Amino acid sequence: MRVAYNEQMDELGDLLGEMAGLAGLAMERATQALLHADLGLAETVIDEHDKISELGAVCEEKAFALLALQGPVAGDLRAVVGGIQIVADVDRMGALALHIAKATRRRHPSHVLPDEVSGYFAEMGRIAVLLGAATREILETRDPERAARLHEEDEAMDDLHRHLFTVLMDRDWQYGVAAAVDVTLLGRFYERFADHAVEVGRRVVFLVTGVLPSSEDFHDTTSRMSNLTVYPES
């Protein structure tokens, strides 16, 4: 029975990783669509979003089956419940990429972004894609140190988001209210994508160590990793 449980947990981890990979790919395509007003690419993100939701439903079904049939306790229970929570974060990452694609479609054939801010979004997109790939990696490897480092990459996203607001608040902003609203919402979508990736990292640290770092001190997790108690699996 233990062998079967381990196999099912490995399968769940692989599916979560695949789901994160799809979310990262959606963000990559959505960013390119946004930067180049590429309607076809935006439509691809929109059309393929259901794959992420469907995979999330499969993950949840497998996790609930493990709860019902295996009766996990202690570390095993932590892993299954954590998997269910991770599904919600990764699903939200995919939904945020979807919002970006829909913004591109809504404004087409015009570009959503004024030239003045397109460089910000190119860099925010690059970081988001890296975070998506890292999320897949940590779900497949369950490496708590790599998971903890996601916060460092999120800080770069936060810095860009703050700088973006300085541009929006500048008295020389000349692109009107509609463009300001679009830029504000899109910036928030990228920031939240990164935040959900970091939350997945926190969950992975918890799955492995039994200690859930707070949102406030997660950036210190790497330096404290050697002091965390790794609880034995039951």
Cα–Cα distance, 105 to 195 (Å, whole number): 25
When pLDDT is cut at 50, 70 and 90, the band that residue 228 belongs to is very low
Res. 22: pLDDT tops 60 = yes
Q: How many CB atoms lie within 10 A of CB 132?
A: 26
Give the per-residue pLDDT at 9.
Answer: 83
pLDDT (tens digit per residue) in 140-188: 998 999 998 898 889 999 999 999 999 999 988 999 999 999 999 999 9
Res. 218: pLDDT tops 80 = no
The domains found in the chain, sorted by start residue, are 2-227 (1.20.58.220)
Arithmetic mean of pLDDT, 197-213? 87
- CA distance readout (Å), 115 to 57, 87, 103, 214, 219: 39, 36, 16, 38, 33
Arithmetic mean of pLDDT, 192-198? 97
The percent of residues in the chain predicted with pLDDT above 70, rounded, is 88
Res. 127: pLDDT tops 90 = yes
Torsional class of 176: left (φ above 0), alpha (ψ -120 to 50), beta (otherwise): left
pLDDT (tens digit per residue) in 51-92: 999 999 999 999 988 888 776 667 788 888 889 999 999 999
When pLDDT is cut at 50, 70 and 90, the band that residue 101 belongs to is very high
Cα–Cα distance, 49 to 65 (Å, whole number): 25
The chain-wide mean pLDDT, for the chain, equals 88
Arithmetic mean of pLDDT, 18-33? 97
Give the per-residue pLDDT at 217.
Answer: 55
Arithmetic mean of pLDDT, 84-108? 97
Least confident of 3-12, 177-186, 194-203: 3-12
Q: Find the distance separating the first CA and the last CA of the chain, reported in whole Å.
A: 13
